[in-house]
Amino acid sequence: MSILSPVLERSLAAVARPRRTGRVSRMVGFRIDVEGIEAAVGDAVRIYRHGGVLDAEVVSAYSSMLACAPLGDITGVRCGDEAEALGHPLTVRVGEELLGRVLDGLGRPVDGGAPLDGLEEVTMHGQPPHPLERDLVDTQLALGIRAIDTLIPCGKGQRLGIFAGSGVGKSSLLSMIMRGTDAAVSVLALVGERGREVNEFIRRDLGPEGLARSVIVVATSDRPAMVRVRAAFTAIRIAEWFRDQGLDVLFMMDSLTRFAMAQREIGLAAGEPPATRGYPPSVFSLMPMLLERAGISDRGSITGLYSVLVEGDDMNEPISDAARAILDGHIVLSRRLATGAHFPAIEVLESISRLEPAITTPEHRRMAQGLRALLAAYRDAKDLVEIGAYVRGTNPLVDRAIELQGQVDAFLRQDLFEVAPLMESKMAMSALMGGSLPVGSVAGGVLPGGSLPVGSLAGGSLLGGSIMSGVTPARANVANVLGGGQG
Ligand SMILES: Nc1ncnc2c1ncn2[C@@H]1O[C@H](COP(=O)(O)OP(=O)(O)OP(=O)(O)O)[C@@H](O)[C@H]1O
Ligand SMILES: [Mg+2]
């Protein structure tokens, strides 16, 4: 017999067991208010509407009322519909089987492939590596882009932003990197893209070879804001799982701006005040929560690349500004180069990798600085040269820059389907800075035969014949690591 009175027992039981079912009490825009249930911010809530269910996530709470953001189309939801607290945050399935798959923002397959039943289920709330336990970024990760690998090198565990206006080649650059990187696994979050672009990206730009070592999480612009935000967290959670298997993972997001815009919708609907350019404060606290998840842990690494939309060349727009402050460097793509058919349209002189000194040799840096000096000298003298007002012999650096301009230009260009292995890129930079391009001197690569007249390499065939291999030695390791060496 219990020593507690029945009344006290009932009250204790009520406290211990949160109320699970309640009702939809109000709907304003894309916010659904639910009353009568107990759930924490971040928990999932299921709404039973006529003809089906709608899941939502709790974004804020005012005494007994919960404001929820829908994770699907809200058509058909009425006040009074039953709501159930699921008692936990959203989960995502993880495992090696995700390689080659395309998932929606909540981690469900959208490619018509096999269901993910039986895979491990984890909550979306991963932890960033502890600040004091993070290993230092000290090793370069090859991205397979000549201009980046030599002049804006990226370290394993580093986070770089790709800043560009619309249509100057952000997505194309990301697809080139996915095909060319040495990272064992790539995870890509496509957030807020147009539906048409997703298929184009996967089928045409990425191709089966790029997809085989990748996981793609897609939430197009027509999906609810919460799904677009969750897509980024689903993707980083999947990247964390692969990292925890001991792999070097490349996490990419296109675009960080659209992620911020989705959070702006959620924050404003939940009643936050608009602050900078309409972005509520939660946008600026959520960005580091996502960006800090990349880095090196004691098991593996996540290197992060995030595209940032810069409209009207306004680099001080709040999202670019916040991103630049958090990230470890930026790659700037310009419309000037894109309209001149110079791809990838990387403005080398405006781009910087803050960790370059930690991941490159003094020799690499010396050559990269020399190349940057040539680019700067040519840029400054370009107008004079073009109107014929520059007199050769006035400045030896400008003379050299003019002499090498065609070769430097060709070195920086890279065709969409050309893969530039890191070693070949370094050798090519070395050859360029040595003043000549000795034919056939590039280890593992094939230089074009015959002479190399200035400007003859436009189109990026400096390393013509470089292999579209996709599977580098580092990538080949993935099977061994995941298969416990049995692969
Ligand atoms: N390396 C390249 N070689 C040749 N053409 C390229 C290359 N990169 C980009 N392009 C061209 O630039 C166009 C725009 O590229 P992309 O769609 O990647 O831009 P974006 O910045 O992602 O655009 P949006 O802002 O609309 O998402 C492509 O259709 C393609 O023609
Ligand atoms: Mg794009």
What ligand is nearest to the CA atom of residue 167?
Answer: 1
Q: How long is the chain?
A: 487
* Mutation test residue for ligand 1: of 172, 221, 305, the one with most atoms within 8 Å of CB: 172
Q: Where are the alpha helices (DSSP H) in 245-361?
A: 256-269, 281-291, 318-326, 335-339, 356-359
CA 121, 122, 124, 128 torsion-angle sign: negative
| Cis amide linkage into residue 344, ω under 30° from 0 | yes
How is 123-134 classified by DSSP, letter by letter? Answer: ES---PPPTTTP
Which residues are found with C-beta within 5 Å of the ion, ligand 2?
Answer: 170-171
Range with the largest mean pLDDT of 51-60, 236-245, 310-319, 471-480 = 236-245
Cα 170 to ligand 2 centre (Å): 5
Ligand 1 near 180 CB (within 6 A): no
Distance from C-alpha of 298 to C-alpha of 394, rounded to nearest angstrom: 55
Assign 382 a pLDDT band (cuts: 50, 70, 90). Answer: confident
Distance from C-alpha of 402 to C-alpha of 382, rounded to nearest angstrom: 9
Cα 408 to ligand 2 centre (Å): 27
pLDDT of amino acid 461: 32
pLDDT digits (tens, 9 = 90+) for 220-269: 988 989 899 999 999 999 999 999 999 999 999 998 999 999 999 888 88
Whether the per-residue pLDDT at 76 is higher than 90: the answer is no
Cα 151 to ligand 1 centre (Å): 21
pLDDT digits (tens, 9 = 90+) for 384-442: 888 888 888 888 889 888 988 899 999 999 999 898 999 999 999 998 887 443 333 33
Distance from C-alpha of 165 to C-alpha of 51, rounded to nearest angstrom: 43
Distance from C-alpha of 352 to C-alpha of 148, rounded to nearest angstrom: 10
Structure tokens at 164: 């560009």
pLDDT of amino acid 155: 94
Whether the per-residue pLDDT at 324 is higher than 80: the answer is yes
pLDDT digits (tens, 9 = 90+) for 193-213: 887 788 888 888 888 888 889
Ligand 1 near 172 CB (within 6 A): yes
Cα 192 to ligand 2 centre (Å): 10
Q: Which residue has the CA at smallest separation from atom 15 of ligand 1?
A: 169
Specify the 3-state DSSP secondary structure of 28: strand
Q: Which residue has the CA at smallest separation from atom 28 of ligand 1?
A: 169
Distance from C-alpha of 177 to C-alpha of 26, rounded to nearest angstrom: 46
Ligand 1 near 404 CB (within 6 A): no
pLDDT digits (tens, 9 = 90+) for 105-135: 999 999 888 888 889 989 877 777 677 767 7
Cα 448 to ligand 2 centre (Å): 33
pLDDT digits (tens, 9 = 90+) for 4-58: 566 566 555 555 556 688 999 988 878 899 998 888 888 999 999 988 899 999 9
Cα 236 to ligand 2 centre (Å): 20
Whether the per-residue pLDDT at 444 is higher than 70: the answer is no
Ligand 1 near 167 CB (within 6 A): yes
Residue 107's closest CA among 209, 212, 215? Answer: 215
The mean pLDDT value of the chain amounts to: 82
Assign 148 a pLDDT band (cuts: 50, 70, 90). Answer: very high
Assign 487 a pLDDT band (cuts: 50, 70, 90). Answer: very low
Q: Which residue has the CA at smallest separation from atom 11 of ligand 1?
A: 169
Ligand 1 near 221 CB (within 6 A): no
